Amino acid sequence: MDMKSLYLLIALSPLAGAIIAGLFGWAIGRRAAHVVTIAGVAVSAVLSLKVLYGFLNGGAVFNETVYTWLTVGGMEFSVGFLVDSLTALMLVVVTSVSLMVHIYTIGYMSEDPGYQRFFSYISLFTFSMLMLVMSNNFVQLFFGWEAVGLVSYLLIGFWFKRPTATYANLKAFLVNRVGDFGFLLGIGLVLAHFGGSLNYADVFAALPQVKDQTIQIIPGVDWSLMTVTCILLFVGAMGKSAQFPLHVWLPDSMEGPTPISALIHAATMVTAGIFMVSRMSPMFELSDTALNFVMITGSITALFMGFLGIVQNDIKRVVAYSTLSQLGYMTVALGASAYSVAMFHVMTHAFFKALLFLAAGSVIIGMHHEQDMRKMGGLRKYMPITWITSLLGSLALIGTPFFSGFYSKDSIILAVEHSNLAASGFATFAVLAGVFVTAFYSFRMYFLVFHGKERWMDAAHPASHHGDHADEEPDHDHHHGLGPNDKPHESPWVVTLPLVLLAIPSVIIGYFAVGPLVGGDFFNGVIFTNLAAHPGLAAVMPHAEHAFEMGMHAFVTLPFWLALAGVVTAWVFYMKAPQIPAAIKKTFAPVNTLLENKYYLDEIYFAVFAKGSRALGTFFWKICDMLLIDGLIVNGSAKLVGSFSRVVRRLQTGFIYSYATTMIVGVLALITIWFSQLIFG
């Protein structure tokens, strides 16, 4: 098989499964639908591993056009594949996590009437992401970009009979349109100023000629072309990768089924922005202003979204805000020009975040679809596999030495500490404070769910007291939970097997990958960093070459002690002295209210944009359209003609004497005018 055929097979196998399950699922049945979609993703996963293995052994870069679908003048719009080490890494991450999610879905969605439709959607989602990461031009990148947005809309609103689900998918769609508008403007600047081509290779080749070029957005004010282009492209990444302030859609995406939450948050849609900026590293390296903008955005997201995770009681929303915070870490690494470190964290995060989401789904299954952590507790003895895999995922998330998350997260912190950008001071504080916050909310969730009093018994018997968390009022939502005679139970093997398989890389892959991905030459010629101008990555590379020493050294570093402090604080607050968080909540009630209302950003957006746009529309409708256009111009001119016609019509009497009188009066008027001109000449 030649390389073009190989890459086509990787890209199209999930699409074939999606088409068969989507169009013919009603005929082939549930079992055949999941078999054909899993087979398609499995083919892509196996072949992706083969591609990655090739690049680990010096494989050649593939960059060819597969099909040209439009030619305008000298410009071509085509489907083309660029497969290099960056693409190979993303292929493995996307297909392997997607395969685990597909298998998991068999158990999680077993009773859902939309079973075949769901499998079709998640396979289509995988295809869209593969087209995005394999593209060699901006047009195909934008196609994949919009395709993952469209399918995410379908998946978040999969349970479309729920008003909350339809609200969430519409919110995700609209917020991403804001980011995509900026992204499209950035692509437009590339087309206009970078040699008239949208192929990556041509655009990068044109950089020396345009790096100092300026444009005038406001007449008389010069702007750096590179800065404006990079910031606009990054606005697209802010939407897809849920960066502040375009992050508001991601927590609400929890309204979709848990498998798609794992797929969106771990390996597909939200990582698209990080991948895109890494792919465009030759451009971003030419603008310190853009890099500072990226770093500040990531810092705010990493810290302030982590704060929101502390006050969440829905188990899936805690993991969702964790995703937001970790995406902030990746973005900070991009701002520090440590693109390889950001992609390394994309990979490690994909495994342990998918693990945590699927483990949360397993808990929801065991708790009969209860999601409120205040109605859980003591599940360790009922769900041992879910418990141990959740613990491993949580340890990876908080950056425990030798776990995968440690190597990528500590590399980000080290790179930011050695960055020379103006924003690096605030970014360093944010990522260090975020270590404590992440450890605290992660183990708050862990302790509330798996340890302590079995509060689900209180929930099943409302007459009993609320135990250790009587200070908190539970949410009364659509989840029914356990009945009085029910007990939690471990999930079936199709659910627990993906947990075990994801737990393995969550623990070990960082140790083996940090050397080649960060300290080695895996990304040489693919990701470009000016180490002289941006020394953050240079500070990380010597440490990354010695994974064991890096892990041992961690025990004397500040991030380790901050993470440990977060875990201990969570244990004290929720296992030993639950009155402390209740007292803190009461003392700092305004802060707690601010966090519970998510900084009131939804309300601000609704007031400014939703109500504002409606008010603007009402103004244009009633004033501009009805009053000025319809009332004055259209109807007004008609009324003027009608009034003039009524006056003229009165002169047409049909009597000869009337016309004779008019003629005499006219002649007398002309004679009068003539005599006036003679006399006063």
Q: What type of residue is 178?
A: V
Q: CA torsion angle for 120, 126, 131, 132 (degrees, to 10)?
A: 130
- At 515 the three-state DSSP class reads helix
Q: Where are the domains of the chain?
A: 135-458+488-576, 603-680
8 A C-beta contact, residue 129 and residue 164: no
| pTM summary value | 0.86
pLDDT of residue 458: 64
Q: What separation in angstroms does the CA of 680 have from each of 176, 530, 590, 670, 676? A: 78, 91, 89, 15, 6
pLDDT of residue 485: 62
Helix 558-571 / helix 424-450 crossing angle, nearest 10 deg:
30
State pLDDT tens for residues 323-376: 999 999 999 999 999 999 999 999 999 999 999 999 998 999 888 888 888 888
8 A C-beta contact, residue 303 and residue 430: yes
Q: Which pair of tokens denotes residue 681?
A: 């000449």
Q: Which pair of tokens denotes residue 462?
A: 């409302």
Provide the residue count of the chain: 681
8 A C-beta contact, residue 439 and residue 366: no
Q: What is the 3-state secondary structure (H, E, C) of 131-186?
A: HHHHECEHHHHHHHHHHHHHHHHHHHCCCCCCHHHHHHHHHHHHHHHHHHHHHHHH
> What H or E segment, with its residue span, contains residue 69?
strand 62-72
Q: Which pair of tokens denotes residue 678?
A: 């003679």
Q: Which pair of tokens denotes residue 453?
A: 């009093």
> What H or E segment, with its residue span, contains residue 639?
helix 635-651
- Here the contacts of 543-547 (C-beta below 8 Å, separation 24 or greater) are 543/411, 543/414, 543/519, 544/407, 544/411, 544/514, 544/515, 544/517, 544/518, 544/519, 544/520, 545/515, 545/519, 545/520, 546/515, 547/407, 547/510, 547/511, 547/512, 547/514, 547/515
Q: What separation in angstroms does the CA of 249 have from each of 31, 240, 596? A: 33, 10, 16
Task: Please state, in angstroms and rounded to a whole number, the distance separating the CA atoms of residues 567 and 670.
Answer: 106
Burial class (CB in 10 A: 0-12, 13-18, 19+), 241: buried
8 A C-beta contact, residue 165 and residue 158: yes
Q: Which of 219, 418, 217 is nearest to 336 (CA)?
A: 418
Helix 589-596 / helix 579-587 crossing angle, nearest 10 deg:
90
pLDDT of residue 657: 72
Q: Which pair of tokens denotes residue 445?
A: 């969730």
Half-sphere exposure of 386 (CA within 13 A, CB side): 29
Q: Are strands 214-215 and 223-224 parallel, antiparallel or unpaired?
A: antiparallel
Q: What separation in angstroms does the CA of 111 have from each of 25, 98, 106, 115, 357? A: 16, 21, 9, 8, 20
Show the CA angle centred on residue 444, arms to residues 441 and 446, nearest 5°.
110
Low-confidence ranges of the chain (pLDDT < 50): 462-479
Task: Please state, in angstroms and rounded to a whole number, the distance separating the CA atoms of residues 78 and 136.
Answer: 9
Q: Which pair of tokens denotes residue 261?
A: 């939450």
Show the CA angle centred on residue 436, arms to residues 234 and 448, nearest 5°.
110
What are the backbone angles phi and psi of residue 223, rounded to the nearest 5°? Answer: -125, 145
Residue 423 CA to its chain's centroid (Å)? 23
Half-sphere exposure of 26 (CA within 13 A, CB side): 1
Q: Which pair of tokens denotes residue 563?
A: 């993470």
Q: Are strands 75-83 and 214-215 parallel, antiparallel or unpaired?
A: unpaired
Task: Please state, in angstroms and rounded to a whole number, the distance separating the CA atoms of residues 331 and 273.
Answer: 9
